[in-house]
Structure 1
Amino acid sequence: MAKSKAAGESETVIIKKYANRRLYNTETSSYITLDLLSQMTREGREFVVLDAKTNEDITHNVLTQIIMDEEQRGKNMLPVNFLRQLISMYGDSMQSMVPQYLEASMEAFRKNQKQFQDAMQGAFAGGPLAEIAKRNLEMFEAATAAFKTKGMPGFDMPTVATPAPPADSAEKDDEIAQLKAQLASLNAKIEKLAP
């Protein structure tokens, strides 16, 4: 049964698979490939694959074939140990619980992935990670200015203005001083190596 979609999105697409293994998209009235079905899956498009002769739902088999094709292309996501454990569950008394468990696990993984992505995007907009990124940028600019000040034979750096450190940043000043000292030491070693 097709799920209702938001305005602008279509219902579940019916794909028919013929005996010659060709897939026919009834929405676009065109033949398609497994690669296109894979792309539709990534885009979140709902589809059902039906055997054209018997009208049997073979979506599971086709999705499994897509996974096998991806694995054969070297995009292995399923570890051998996981596959062995999965195979060993067939015929086991717990077999009926495995699909629900895997589905719930994958849903939890997707939610965690989304939360992580949202957190990373938010981190650079504000918050503690944004402050760390800002400090790292200031230290990089100070290091670049140190290279420009000391100069290296045959190496011209563009001029970078060193930002004025905030008044309450004694710790930052120490870190910058340490970086400058390390850069000066490296610069001296490089000058010794230069002919």
Structure 2
Amino acid sequence: MSTQASSSDTPVVIKRYASRKLYDADAKEYVTIEDIARYIREGRDVQIVDKNTGEDLTRQYLVQIIADFESQGESALPLNILTDLVRHYQEQASSMTSSIASAMTPAFLGQMFETFKAQQEKTLSELGEMGSRALDPEKLMASASEAMAEWQAKQGEFFSQAMRQWGFGGTEPERPAPEPDKGSGQGKSTSTADDRSAAAGAGKDAQIKAIEENLKNLQDKLDKLR
């Protein structure tokens, strides 16, 4: 459809009917997934809700848009990052510290993608300056291809490192619990329920502390990249 989204700062409200058709309440017309993607490219915020229940379906449709791009060969994320994200949904669910990680993951990913976008814009700007100075088209294309390949490699390394620090790329092997002291006297007990409980609590505290340290290190690295 050719209808442009309105210029207001409020999000474009898209209502999904029982027939699964999408209706732009502002433009008063039906729209498609492609139209919604165009709205977003134009800089508009979009909110998609179920007409009957009012349920917010925005996240569901944004994921579908990304999936459509990927199926068309317009890959934006390295395969290993997509794999780690899928693995995260499975592995983190059963961990005690997953509640902390899950709560911080959206903010973490948002910050990571902001850094990604800033670096992308910088690279494209440098390529533009390179083109304005270059005289030989063949040398320009070779330099641009080399610069883009180097940029993609750096982005993949950056994402992989960030995901590993956060714990998306698998968990560290658990350390074996220390063996209890073997006393020679009969009156010495090798272990008690209280001792085991205290050890478990200390282990959880250590996990939380490790996550906090990883977050701090990652924040420092992100600040340096800006």
> Is the 8 Å Cα contact of residues 89 and 95 (structure 1) preserved in structure 2?
no
Higher relative contact order (CA 8 A, sep 6+): 2
TM-superposed CA distance for 1:88, in Å, is 2.0
- TM-score, structure 2 as length reference: 0.48
* Cα distance in 1 between the residues matched to 2:27 and 2:126: 39
Closer, same or farther in 2 for the Cα pair 1:25/1:69, shift >3 Å?
Answer: same
Residue matched to 1:39 = 38
Closer, same or farther in 2 for the Cα pair 1:77/1:117, shift >3 Å?
Answer: closer
Closer, same or farther in 2 for the Cα pair 1:74/1:54, shift >3 Å?
Answer: same
3-state DSSP class of the match of 2:76?
Answer: coil
Question: Larger deviation: 65-74 or 55-64?
Answer: 65-74
TM-superposed CA distance for 1:59, in Å, is 0.4
Structure with bigger helix share is 2
Equivalent residue runs for 1:12-91 within 5 Å: 12-90=11-89, 91=93
* Cα distance in 1 between the residues matched to 2:78 and 2:117: 19
* Cα distance in 1 between the residues matched to 2:75 and 2:54: 32
- TM-score, structure 1 as length reference: 0.55
Q: Which amino acid aligns with 1:119?
A: E
TM-superposed CA distance for 1:124, in Å, is 5.6
Aligned-residue RMSD, C-alpha: 2.3
Residue 101 (structure 1) aligned to one of 104, 108, 128: 108
Which aligned segments of 4 or more residues in structure 1 are displaced greater than 6 angstroms? Answer: none
1:9 aligns with 2:7: yes
Q: Which amino acid aligns with 1:110?
A: K
Identify unmatched segments of 5+ residues in structure 1.
1-7, 138-195
Q: Which amino acid aligns with 2:18?
A: A
* Cα distance in 2 between the residues matched to 1:104 and 1:116: 19
Q: How many residues align?
A: 123
Identify unmatched segments of 5+ residues in structure 2.
1-5, 138-226
Whose radius of gyration is greater, 1 or 2?
1
Identity of counterpart residues, as a percentage? 33
TM-superposed CA distance for 1:113, in Å, is 1.8
